[in-house]
Amino acid sequence: MLNIIIPEENLINLSDVVSADKMLFELDENIEQTPIQGKVFTVNLGNVYYTAAHINTLKTLLEEHGASINLIVATSVNTQLAAIEAGLTVSEKIPEKTLQTKAENTYETLNNQETEEIQEPTQLKITVDIDQEEASQKQEDQDPQPFETQDIDTEKMLEEFLENEINKEEAEKQNETIEIKPVSKKSYSDNTLYIKQTLRSGRTINYDGNVFIIGDCHPGSEIIASGDINVWGILSGIAHAGSKGDTTASIRALKINAIQLRIANMLSRRPDKLLIEKANKTNNFTPEEAKIENDKIQIFSYNY
């Protein structure tokens, strides 16, 4: 049995575990030996790939014993993404607090620069190259598609708002903002989730920061970000930018064909009459940007 729970440091070190199944087994055995009631742990997952299901199981297991997770440390990007999907905070390194106790014992000099770097564990940039080959394949597929231009109004408004819903959402959001301190743009400006993948129906991305997606977002997918949303492709799902109340957030895509656009506490939906279920995959997109202007969400063609 590995000794993986270090209660003094509030750390669960799983970096020596080699597979996901082993992880749960070891953890289960350790929990029996070490009381963890009421503790908040940093979990170091090392370089092993865990799915969101694994991480959820881990979470549930700890919760059953009265403990919780405040940070996941993982070096595998897929694991990091899975942890984000499971709604946990992620870092690449063990934060300074836990590290320092170690550092004092082992390393004599830990120069200032390094500590500064470690002090920001949550500021994380993730690159996901899941199907790079497939993506490039798709690019090739798209190119020879028949060349068709679609007339885009330069200022196309996505119909009237659902007044009731907006008011309710607004009320809800206002309550939220009282509890959470108002978000300034600076807090997330350099925090971006980068995904190179097609988002299919049922996929949700919920991120505190900006979201950048290389690929299409199919209907039924949902992107929620406290910052901006950028889609290098056709945006057909639901996009919610500035989810924590930032009205200056915007949504950009090569083509906006979204069922609903939400910015901060505003909502607009695709007009019923507009039958653009299927956006043509041409190679002459005019990028579009949706933002709040005159208290409405409006779409502008994006050119400098």
Partner 1 sequence: MAGRVIVVTSGKGGVGKTTSTANIGTALAKNGAKVALIDTDIGLRNLDILMGLENRIVYTLIDVIEERCKLNQALVKDKKNPNLVLLAAAQTRDKSAISAEQMADICAKLKEDFDFVLVDSPAGIEQGFQNAIAGAEAAIVVTTPEMSAIRDADRIIGLLEAKEEIKSYKLVLNRVRPNMIKTNDMLSVEDVIDILSIKLLGIIPEDENIIVSTNKGEPIVNMENAKAGIAYNNVAKRIMGEDIPFMSMEAPPKLMDKIKSFFFATANS
In the complex with partner 1, which residue's Cβ is closer, 67 or 258?
Answer: 258
Q: State the DSSP H helix or E strand holding residue 32, giving kind and residue range, or none if neither.
A: helix 20-33
Smallest separation, CB 171 to partner 1 (Å) = 11
Tabulate helix, strand, coil % of the chain (nearest 5): 30, 30, 45
Smallest separation, CB 54 to partner 1 (Å) = 17
Smallest separation, CB 199 to partner 1 (Å) = 11
Specify the 3-state DSSP secondary structure of 165: helix
C-alpha span between 67 and 249 (Å, rounded): 36
In the complex with partner 1, which residue's Cβ is closer, 1 or 275?
Answer: 275
C-alpha span between 3 and 12 (Å, rounded): 9
Smallest separation, CB 165 to partner 1 (Å) = 5
The pair phi, psi for residue 214, each rounded to 5°, is: -100, 105
Angle at 246 between CA 252 and CA 88, to 5 degrees: 90
Smallest separation, CB 177 to partner 1 (Å) = 17
Smallest separation, CB 297 to partner 1 (Å) = 13
In the complex with partner 1, which residue's Cβ is closer, 124 or 166?
Answer: 166
In the complex with partner 1, which residue's Cβ is closer, 201 or 286?
Answer: 201
* Strand-by-strand arrangement of the 260-263 sheet: 204-207, 222-225, 238-241, 260-263, 266-269
In the complex with partner 1, which residue's Cβ is closer, 77 or 162?
Answer: 162
In the complex with partner 1, which residue's Cβ is closer, 164 or 284?
Answer: 164
Smallest separation, CB 205 to partner 1 (Å) = 10
In the complex with partner 1, which residue's Cβ is closer, 158 or 249?
Answer: 158
Please, how many CA atoms are within 13 Å of residue 199, restricted to the half-sphere of its CB?
29
Please, how many CA atoms are within 13 Å of residue 59, restricted to the half-sphere of its CB?
19
Smallest separation, CB 59 to partner 1 (Å) = 16
Torsion, CA 266, CA 245, CA 80, CA 102, rounded to 10: -170
Residues 6+ apart with CB under 8 A from 140: none
Pair 216, 194: CB distance under 8 Å: no
In the complex with partner 1, which residue's Cβ is closer, 8 or 272?
Answer: 272
* Residues making contact with partner 1 (CB under 8 A): 162, 164-165, 168-169, 201-204, 219-220, 222, 259-260, 267, 269-270, 272, 277
C-alpha span between 234 and 113 (Å, rounded): 42
Radius of gyration of the chain (CA): 22
